[in-house]
Structure formats: structure tokens, C-alpha cells
Structure 1
Amino acid sequence: MPEFVLPAYGLKEETSILEPFGTGLINNTWKVTTPGDSFILQRINDAVFLDPEAIAFNIQLVAAYLKQNHPSYPFIAPLTSTEGSQMIYVKDKGFYRMFSFVPGSHSIDVVHTPAQAYEAALQFGRFTSLLSGMDITQLKLTIPSFHDLELRYNQFLLALKNGNTERIRNSQRLIEQLQLRSFIVDEYKSIRQNPEFKLRVTHHDTKISNVLFDKDDKGICVIDLDTLMPGYFISDVGDMMRTYLSPVNEEETDLSKIEVRDEFYKAIVQGYYQEMKADLTGTEKEHFFYAGEFMIYMQALRFLTDHLNNDIYYGAKYPGHNFNRALNQATLLDALIKKQPLLENLAL
């Protein structure tokens, strides 16, 4: 437990209780309880975020903009240390930051109802909408090329040339299945050249656990802004589709459980449009359904690429773990595409 960080925030180690908190896979998170208050302490994974100071810079920039232009928005900024910094570095132990714990709030790990999906989509849409007047060129890239589908496809092709030959041979059917969907990459290339698609302040990690809810399951605000960067709306909407539409996540190996739930798709449309419909161009609205194809396909590529490269990025808890994840996402993509005639007009 990183009790050694507490004095940097004016807290006493002997009167503070630390316990692991949340289910995040990247950063380490603890809840700090003191006699008078509660806090959230995080260690930034600097193996993923190579420039943690860029995260702190972006958050300070957004916090200042919201304070000046939308002071009523409950933005949760990191606390300032006794030395005046919102992120501290401890030699040989890494980068840390601390937040106030919001009383009465909670997060959700799995979307259970369309109402929850609606609230989350509304919050992510509101966040981007409120920041629509911000100069995005000031933002730093915390993970360069994070949602660059063309790059991810090229990495996939490279893995087919240089990866584990046995795994390539045994994955041939899935490889061919994903290659047949390469039109999704072609569309992404067109989007990048289309002035109708705007770069906006984008969260890039819109799973339900990155929204704070109140006791009535109403959204309060978005959290975890480590991947906040300029991006296209398809990143945020697509990640919601990828993680909200199916009742099971990418770890599920029983493919019969994977489905696209129409009412959850409608909830994403309604929630996001509540805040962003007037801001999106006509061409962007025509690509609302594509957002799901884009994100699910990219994740399938990334999982399979890692499998062919001997699990060097995501790691594997058992043999074939990333292959199963890729197959899961390819199955979800097929299920979504089958629903296209029914769903794609809902966002026009």
C-alpha cells in the first residue's frame, strides 16, 4: 500500500486507511479513509502512459476551461499537493494523484439497464458538448495513435508476416474473417479526409465505470480522463456500443451469449443526442452506426494481433486468451452488422 504518498497531501499515515478500489485494469487505485474525509488515490501506469505529465496538463487545461465557461459542471479535478502539484512523482515508485471522494456517488462495472446506458451516453455527450469551444490544439496526446484504425490494421498485417507461425496457422479462419471486414478501415481513411468530421475533445474510454452515478442511478459526471485527447465522435460512441450492447464482455467464451440488444442501442442514441445532436454534422449522424463497427473491429484486430505476437501487449491469463477475446469481438461485430437494417436509421 502506498501510504508514503499521503504526507504529500497533508494526510497522516497513522490515521488513514487504504484499501484497493474499483476494477480498473491500467492504473492502481485505492480509497483513502481518514477521520474526517475520504479520497481516491491512483498510481499512473507509466508503462502505458509514457508521459504522465501530459495527463496532468490536459486535466488542468480542461478544469480551467470548465471553471471559466461552465462553473456548474461538477468536474472532479485532482487535488493539489503540499508542493502545489496535481501529480507527484516518487522516485522508483512512480506517479501518483489524489481526488476527493464524492459523497453519495458510485460507479457501475456492468450496464444492466437501458436507463443506465442512456445516462452514461448523456454524460459523455455533455462532456464533449461543454468543451466544444475549447482550443483542442492545446491538448497533448497521452497515447499517440490510440484509435488509429489504419495503424491497427497495419500492425495486424505485420503480425501476419512476422508473428508466431503456429498461431497464425491455427487462427486462419478468424484472420480471413477479419480481412473480409477491411472495408471498415477504408471507411476510416475516408473519414480522416472528410472535413464534415470534426476533431473534438474526446474521452476515448467510455465504458460505464467511467461515469459517476448518484443514489438514484442518475449520471453526475465523467471521470478517468487519462485518454482525453482530440478525436472523432466515433471513438466515444463506438466504445459505448462495444461495451454496452452485449450482455457479456470480451472475456466471454460462450459465443451463444453474445448479442446486440436493440433497446441499449436506442438508449445510446437518445442519451448522446440529448447533448450532441445539434453539434454533429449530417455526415457524422450518417456514421453513427459505423461507430460501433469501427470500435468493435479495432478491438478484434488488437486482440488477434497480440495473440499472433505472443501476447506481448495485453498479456494472457491462459493459452489462447487473446484469441478468444478476438473471436468474441468478431462475433459481436457480426451480430451488429446483422442488425444494421434495423438500427442504422435510428440516429438520422
Structure 2
Amino acid sequence: MECRASFGVMLTAASGRVARDGDVRPETHLSEVAHAFAPGAALRHAARLGHGHINDTFLVELDRGGRGQRLVLQRLNRQVFADPLAVMSNIERVLDHLRRTLAGFAPEVRARRVLTLVHTGEGSAWTCDSAGEVWRAYLFIERARSGATAGVPAEAFQVARAFGEFLRRLADYDGPPLAVTIPAFHDTRRRVDALVAAVARDAAGRVAGCRKEIDLALEQQPLAAVLLDLHEGGLVPERITHNDTKLDNVLLDEITGEALAVLDLDTVMPGMALADFGDLVRSGVTTAAEDEPDCSRVEADPELFAALTAGFLDGVAKLLRPVEVEHLAVAGQVVTYEIAVRFLTDHLDGDTYFRIGRPGHNLDRARTQLALLRSLQRQQGAFRRIAARSAIEAGVGS
């Protein structure tokens, strides 16, 4: 396996195949990777960090000549990110820009509000292990926790505000164009087409066991065009967006509960602000887990929606157009539908994309998203009124 040290060059395998993520246990390379980012340091302890579906993330404790240091090491999933070096180029540019927007703050404040990439001894923001896998390292932000507590409006507000501010701070980005790290990421029509194709090929022999879910998903096809039609018609602009706005992707201060840094920047690229808000609603509007097996417990909470809307609009300030504000309530439906379709497609294909923890895990996830979608649709009138009231209070969209 070879890892070529230049951006824009794909990783290649001597055998002619690209290793599937998980072919080699990443834990076996932690000492090697830690040494690349901290030459001469000894690895004291390592543990998995977070519950991400895609990359492998570890918190490592190092001994650097008697001085302790904690880093976050992440192995990028090359099955998902075909060009991980383009991902890293994007992240470096985005972090540099965000840091400049906070130039008036003290260095210790900036270090808690923006992630800090650690560079190797050769000055690179990434390294390859002996199996050819790409890794990066961030400084661990102390006295912080990942994500809001489900069902707590004040914390939902903080996370939403952080994502809104993220959009606003990147609105004047004037550096080199960011790479599209996953093409057609929020093209919901293509996601539905992929589901239809998965049903037709029935690669894992699972179609018969989830006909109900397939029918429910296909009945909702008109949702797939809602945001795309706005964008293609020139009504909503392309912006630099996060594209993975889950509650877990913002750090909160352990003491104050204030939002700190936005995490998981792999999918930062051109997109729609409405998709970011929609994914935020999907993640934060219910107390049910994303894979809740009891769909009767999946309900959209108007108080949480109000907190998410108010926080997002506070963070984004005057950036959004009126038409974007008008579609905040439906955005949650669209992205919830899109993710339901993706989970269901992956289940039918044999769980090749999202990491699973049990048989039928992706089917449970799809069922949960479909249940949440139904709840959002039942309450859409109330949610539209909440969004309109939040916009008036924030003085945006007009």
C-alpha cells in the first residue's frame, strides 16, 4: 500500500485494490501515528472517542518528556472519502479562515472556538500509517463535551447558534474553491434513485423483509424535489455549508454550556443552508435516539424546534434570504426523508456504508427517521408558525 504525499493525488494500492475501511484494525497503528504527530512522545493510553458512523476516532494520551498531552487521532474512511487529501486541504483552508474571523479574541479563546490541526514533524496536516491509511490529529479541547443533551432546549439553542455562526463566518471565504468531498451529497432525488436501484437488485436478499418501509419511503418522493427546486431555480444561493449538523458535532463548555468549536469538517463544501438546518432539526428535534427501535417513542418536540430555530437564526444573523427563512420548517422534513432513504438503501445493499452495531441496525435507523418524518408532517402548521415567529424576533429574512 502506498500513500502519496501530495494533495489531489489518490491513494493507490500495490495490489490494484483500495483497502476497504476496516480491513486493518486501526488500533494497531495508534503508536505509529501518534509518533508521526508527536515525535519522541510515548503513548500512555488510547480509547475510542464518540459514536461516528464513518471515521475511526481515538483520544490518545502522550508523554512528551514528562509533560502530558492529549490528542484526537482520526483515521479517514477512504470508502466514503475517495480523496482524503482533498478533504484535508478543505479543512486546513476552513480552519485558517475561521481563525482569522476570530482575530480579535485572545489566543486561548480562539483555541477553544476553532479546532487546531496538529502537524507532523515534516509539517504535514496528515500522515499515512504502514497500511496506507490516512490519519489526522487535533489538539484535544479540555473542559468540553461533545454535543447537546437530547431534550434540553437551552443546549439545542447553543448547538444551533454555533452552526448558524459557522455559516456566517464562512460567508466571506475568499480562498481557493473548496473541493466537493462527496458529490451530490444532498441531492435527494439521486438518493431516491439509489433506493429504487437497491430494491431492484436486492443484493442482500432483504427486500421482502422491509416492503412496508420501502413503500413508505417511495410515497414521500415529492419531498425530494423541494430544496433542489429552490436551488436549481436560483431562489436560494450556494453557500459553504457544514453538511453534517448533528448535535454531537459541536463542543460545549463543561461549566457554562456555551457552544465552542464546530466538529467533523469532512463534508464542509458548497451546499445549501437549508440542508444544514434540516439536518440540525432531524438530529435535535426529538429525544429519541437515531436508532430507537420503538418508533412510538419518536416524536418531534415543538419546544426543541423553537430552540433550534431561534439559535440558528441568532447565529446566522442577516445572512439568509427571505425564501430560505420561509422554508426552515420544511427543511427538516426533507433531510429527515433523505437520511431515511440512505439508511434504508444501505440496509438493502448489505450495510456497506454506515457502520452498524447489530443486525438490522440500518433498518432500525430508517424506521426511526420515517417515524420522525411523519411527526414533523403532522405538526408542520405549528412548526411554520414557530419559524415565522422566530424570524420576526431575530429580525431576519426581510
Interval containing the TM-score (normalised by the shorter chain): over 0.9
Contact 2:118–2:137 (Cα < 8 Å) also in 1: yes
Contact 2:148–2:155 (Cα < 8 Å) also in 1: no
**Which residue of 273, 278, 282 corresponds with 1:233?**
273
Using the alignment, how far apart are the partners of 1:204 and 1:130 within structure 2? 15
Contact 2:149–2:155 (Cα < 8 Å) also in 1: no
Equivalent in the alignment of 1:26: 54
Deviation at 1:243, TM superposition (A): 1.2
1:115 aligns with 2:154: yes
**Which residue of 237, 251, 261 corresponds with 1:198?**
237
Equivalent in the alignment of 2:246: 207
**Which residue of 300, 313, 320 corresponds with 1:260?**
300
**Which residue of 85, 91, 111 corresponds with 1:53?**
85
Q: Secondary structure at the match of 2:145?
A: coil
Root mean square deviation of aligned Cα:
2.1
| TM-score where L is the length of structure 1 | 0.93
**Which residue of 42, 50, 54 corresponds with 2:74?**
42
Deviation at 1:109, TM superposition (A): 6.7
Deviation at 1:305, TM superposition (A): 1.7
Deviation at 1:24, TM superposition (A): 2.3
Equivalent in the alignment of 1:189: 228
Contact 1:235–1:295 (Cα < 8 Å) also in 2: yes
Question: Cα 1:167–1:7, aligned 2, differ >3 Å: closer, same or farther?
Answer: closer
Q: Which moved more, 1:141-150 or 1:289-298?
A: 141-150
1:295 aligns with 2:355: no
Equivalent in the alignment of 2:143: 104
Aligned partner of 2:117: which letter? P
Contact 2:188–2:225 (Cα < 8 Å) also in 1: no
Using the alignment, how far apart are the partners of 1:179 and 1:261 within structure 2? 25
Question: Cα 1:176–1:10, aligned 2, differ >3 Å: closer, same or farther?
Answer: closer
Q: Which moved more, 1:334-343 or 1:270-279?
A: 270-279
Using the alignment, how far apart are the partners of 1:80 and 1:328 within structure 2? 40
Equivalent in the alignment of 1:63: 95
Equivalent in the alignment of 2:11: none
Contact 1:28–1:44 (Cα < 8 Å) also in 2: yes
Equivalent in the alignment of 1:219: 259
Deviation at 1:165, TM superposition (A): 9.3
Q: Which moved more, 1:204-213 or 1:72-81?
A: 72-81
1:148 aligns with 2:187: yes
Contact 1:59–1:77 (Cα < 8 Å) also in 2: no
Correspondence 1:311-330 to 2 at 5 A:
311-314=351-354, 317-330=357-370
Question: Cα 1:203–1:189, aligned 2, differ >3 Å: closer, same or farther?
Answer: closer
Using the alignment, how far apart are the partners of 2:352 and 2:144 within structure 1? 37
1:341 aligns with 2:381: yes
Question: Cα 1:58–1:167, aligned 2, differ >3 Å: closer, same or farther?
Answer: same
Using the alignment, how far apart are the partners of 1:217 and 1:210 within structure 2? 14
Using the alignment, how far apart are the partners of 1:309 and 1:31 within structure 2? 32
Deviation at 1:275, TM superposition (A): 2.0
Using the alignment, how far apart are the partners of 1:56 and 1:303 within structure 2? 26
Structure 1 segments unaligned to the other structure (5+ residues): none
What's the CA shift string for 1:37-93, capped at 9, x where partnerless?
Answer: 222122112222111111111111112323434323532131111101011122314
**Which residue of 57, 60, 82 corresponds with 2:121?**
82
